[in-house]
Amino acid sequence: MKFRFIYLFIGLYFSCVKGLAQEKLYFSQTELGFLYGRGMENWEGKREERMDFTFQTFHGARFTPKQVIGFSVGLDQYQDISLLPIALGYRGFIGKEGKPQIFGGLDLGGGSAVLEKKQEDEWSKSWYEGGIMFSPMAGFKLPSRKGKTALSFTFAYKRQEFSYFQGYFERGNVRPFTTSLLPPGYNSVTETAFLYHSFVFRMGLMF
């Protein structure tokens, strides 16, 4: 079962390379843009807005002339926190070849917090953990006159979960009972779970 996926992947890879050369099986979309979101109400009833940088590159293969599956990686900034989204994606196009087209798509995957440094001292440790990312999108494809490349404009919604953990170690020689609720060696852990809803605008190039 596992191997079947590997074969599929290898097949897909070679078909991409082949596609590049001949039938345009390979598809890529690389875009830059911004994420916009609104924070929770604070005690004054005001809310903070956030507007941050986003980058994404999607690579896939056409399985019908107007539909693509592939994967995307990128970089999303949420205020001070940088996440690396990695997702499986779909893109579908409507419209005539060579003319401006509308497309829609979906990315489903996770945002990784590997870029965030863990902090540790004698008493405590804090770290980030990434979480599920879900992003439906729609946009326009404006092909260049000569054909192969196209400008793309994407509007998307992005739902990103991640968590910040701050744990305090057991102090002294306490031998506590084990529990699945806390990692070993910790006396307490505070988890701050973030669920960010963002509006995304990106623009870039499609091949």
Residue among 14, 118, 185, 205 that touches another protein (CB under 8 A): 185
CB of 131 to another protein, least distance (A): 12
CA distance 206 to 69: 14
> 11: alpha, beta or left, given left = phi > 0 and alpha = psi -120 to 50?
alpha
In sequence order, which residues have a C-beta less than 8 Å from that of residue 187 and are 6 or more positions away?
168, 169, 170, 171, 174, 176
Q: Is 142 in the site for another protein (CB under 8 A)?
A: no
Q: Is 89 in the site for another protein (CB under 8 A)?
A: no
CB of 90 to another protein, least distance (A): 12
Strands (DSSP E) contained in 79-123 are 81-94, 101-112, 119-120
By CB under 8 A, what part of segment 42-61 binds another protein? 47
Residue among 71, 127, 140, 199 that touches another protein (CB under 8 A): 199
By CB under 8 A, what part of segment 153-172 binds another protein? 155-157, 159, 166, 168-172
Contact positions vs another protein (CB under 8 A): 36-41, 47, 92, 94-95, 102, 104, 122, 136-138, 155-157, 159, 166, 168-179, 181-182, 184-185, 187-199
